[in-house]
Amino acid sequence: MKKFLALFVGLLLFGLVSAQPANYYNSANGLTGNQLKVALHNIIKGHSSISYGQLWNAFWSTDNKGNGVVWDMYSDWPNGNSPYTYFLGQDQCGNYNSEGDCYNREHSWPQSWFNEQTTPRTDLHHIFPTDGFVNGKRANYPFGEVRSASWTSQNGSKLGTCKTPGYSGTVFEPIDEYKGDFARALMYMSVRYYLEDGNWGSSDMTSKSELKDWAINMLLRWNEQDPVSPKEKERNEAIYNDYQHNRNPFVDHPEYARMIWDPTWNSVQEKAESVFLFPNPVERGQSLHVSGNGDAFDAVAICDLTGRTLLKAIGNQVGELTVALPDGLAQGCYIVKLMRNGSVVKYEKLLVK
């Protein structure tokens, strides 16, 4: 969605963004809800930690916009010239008095929320180089959506009262182009430190490593409204290959977010025992083969997770149907309904890549 031109030279040098290692997520296949969360935790836990000082060097690999320019999500203008530019190794904070003075190390999951425990304090999957002054304004406020801004940064990030349902306190809102980046970073933290949070604190957004309901509902939206970009994929590769040797599952599989935290997705079970979808996951633009394994049906509806029908195909009550998926169908999680005479016969869950 964003940042493609800035990465063009990097992609030429390094080839296409690498795929996840084969079999990395095998133990998570077929799981949803808390079972999926536990499986992903077991996959990514026990990573190799770096020191706090080594974060500065790591940014050369993880947040280099090109030619040593810092990729600062608190100051970047994705569609134009940023109001100020930092260079890796040259503009580190230090003291600051205003925007544009220097960059420092932003913990998107603030340190006070985990009581400055050593391992999360240097976990690159949630630490980004950002303008020191803007970082200071964000402080340890939750991320959220601002109703009335008390302060706005030069790139449009805001501090102010929250309009997100479920919370009305002060929040910090990054610009739309980076909301997904921060959502996936926080989701990673919730899974990575699941059951390892005994000494953690809580906040208006979190209870130890658990995200509160209002926050996860918002982050699910951000995850889908701002899809994974090449920037995030390259960052994930650098952290995995060069530093921590673990991955952010929500960069590799953003659909995992709803599979873990969306109760609508996790509750579609009672009528799913004998539905066969192939392939699943499916690519946009492909044909999806649907079989009721002996159950007759005369229509197949593909619905979003609110139950809204996006696509309906008519069959002949033979128990099988091929559905052509449009190229414009968004990546994510869907519910497939097998229907007969207007009533649902069975449900199944579909992942669209």
Q: What is the pLDDT of residues 173-208, one digit of tens each?
A: 999 999 999 999 999 999 999 999 999 999 999 999
Look at residue 9 in the predicted model and tell me its pLDDT: 34
Look at residue 270 in the predicted model and tell me its pLDDT: 55
CA dist 224 and 230 (Å) reads 15
Residues 6+ apart with CB under 8 A from 251: 184, 228, 232, 233, 235, 236
Indicate the domain borders of the chain. Answer: 5-264, 268-352
Q: What is the pLDDT of residues 155-180, one digit of tens each?
A: 999 999 999 999 999 999 999 999 99
pLDDT along the chain (353 residues), means of 10: 39 44 88 94 98 98 96 92 94 95 98 98 98 98 98 97 97 98 98 97 98 97 92 97 98 91 73 77 88 82 83 82 89 87 83 84
- Residue 270 has which token pair? 């009672």
DSSP string, 288-347: EEEE-TT---SEEEEE-TTS-EEEEEE--SSSEEEEEPPTTPPSEEEEEEEEETTEEEEE
User: On the CB side of 229, how many CA atoms lie within 13 Å of its CA?
Assistant: 20
Look at residue 268 in the predicted model and tell me its pLDDT: 67
CA dist 75 and 106 (Å) reads 13
How many contiguous H segments (helices) and E segments (strands) does the chain have? 11, 14
Fold of 268-352: Immunoglobulin-like (2.60.40)
Is the Cβ–Cβ distance between 195 and 111 less than 8 Å?
no
Residues in the chain: 353
Indicate the pTM of the whole model: 0.80
- Residue 262 has which token pair? 């969306």
Q: What is the pLDDT of residues 220-242, one digit of tens each?
A: 999 989 999 999 999 999 999 99
281 upstream amide cis, omega within 30 of 0: yes
